[in-house]
Structure 1
């Protein structure tokens, strides 16, 4: 999981919400459609570097959906709060429906502030470790293990599909790594923490960074 630094919400989204009056109120279900929804979706993708907020796989508008970190069912007042919106993989309109289900669609309406690791918290990466096998595991820190274990389970982050994708991404990143010095490996890890020239992060960069910093 990679930390998401939230930006200011899009001006057009703010202006749309500001149109609220006695006869009309902005509402997620009834009138949050084009162009406002598309504008918000694109903004979320951009601030996340086009990777899923939870698993870190590459996403586009077509292969992702707008996720409420704190679910609307329990926090209706946050339905249109930009600070509560992130982009998760598995789009609403993908055909056929993606199987197996994971990340936002698997999480559904679950949320526990004590047991859900948030990608909006700057230290979210400290809750997990990534062996070269492609698994995601809880950290060794006892204070963080319960939240890490629960988050992995609730988001189905350890299904075979994601393990295989992580392993392929890590294997590709390790090609030729033996010839690098420790300092060069650290510099390489730091490079994966940055956006590329297209404004994108490398898919599963959190796992790659962990591997480069902890296994050499």
Structure 2
């Protein structure tokens, strides 16, 4: 399902940089210890993702966006600066869930600089597409090229952030 990316931040996971994560904390949901739907791969980055979640205390399990059931894309948007924020136009309840997911998993903070560095080249690519579209308003061939670029990055770490930058979702 996740490839070699963290279920929460989509960062790369490799040997020594991953662990099996219990979506619902074992201390409050021990019956989920071996429940497949409660297990995800998470990076070992200190202070983020599963490590942050396990240190934040108790919270209602329905607060977090569950990435195998719900599309985080419907709740979160990544900016070219590497930040993540709740998507505009959410209901009050969904905005709270998006904000709490960001807070509990520490998705906005130390990860911003890492995402910003990963997005740098894609920002330039997006600017190229914008310039081309403005220079040649009748030629929509760039749309197919942009779609191809998005498809080709779908397996990469931080793919959602890359897609949001390329498709200008944060503007």
Q: CA deviation at 1:174?
A: 3.6
The within-5 A match list for 1:14-25 is none
For the residues of structure 1 that align with 2:121 and 2:30, how far apart are their CA atoms?
Answer: 43
Deviation at 1:172, TM superposition (A): 2.4
For structure 1, the residue ranges without an aligned partner over 5 or more in a row are: 1-46, 91-97, 194-200
Q: Which runs of 5+ in 2 are unaligned?
A: 133-141
CA distance in 2, matches of 1:89, 1:103: 7
The aligned counterpart of 2:53 is 107
| Alpha-carbon distance, 1:78 to partner | 1.3
1:59 alignment counterpart: 13
Deviation sequence 1:17-58 (CA, Å, 0-9, x none): xxxxxxxxxxxxxxxxxxxxxxxxxxxxxx311111111110
**TM-score scaled by length of structure 2:** 0.80
Q: Which residue of 1 aligns with 2:79?
A: 131
Deviations 1:92-119 (A, max 9, x none): xxxxxx54x1110110164424321111
Which protein has the larger Cα radius of gyration, Structure 1 or Structure 2?
A: 1
Q: Output one character per residue of 1:142-164: Cα deviation in whole Å (capped at 9) or x when no partner.
A: 322110101111111111x3101
CA RMSD of aligned residues (A): 2.0
Q: How does 1:80-159 map to 2 (within 5 A)?
A: 80-90=34-44, 99=46, 101-108=47-54, 110-143=58-91, 144-159=94-109
Residue 190 (str. 1) matches residue 151 (str. 2): yes
Larger helix percent = 2
* Aligned residue number for residue 24 of structure 1: none
Query: Structure 1 residues 120 and 176, CA, compared in 2 at 3 Å: closer, same or farther?
Result: closer
For residues 112 and 61 of structure 1, the distance between their equivalents in structure 2, rounded to whole angstroms, comes to: 32
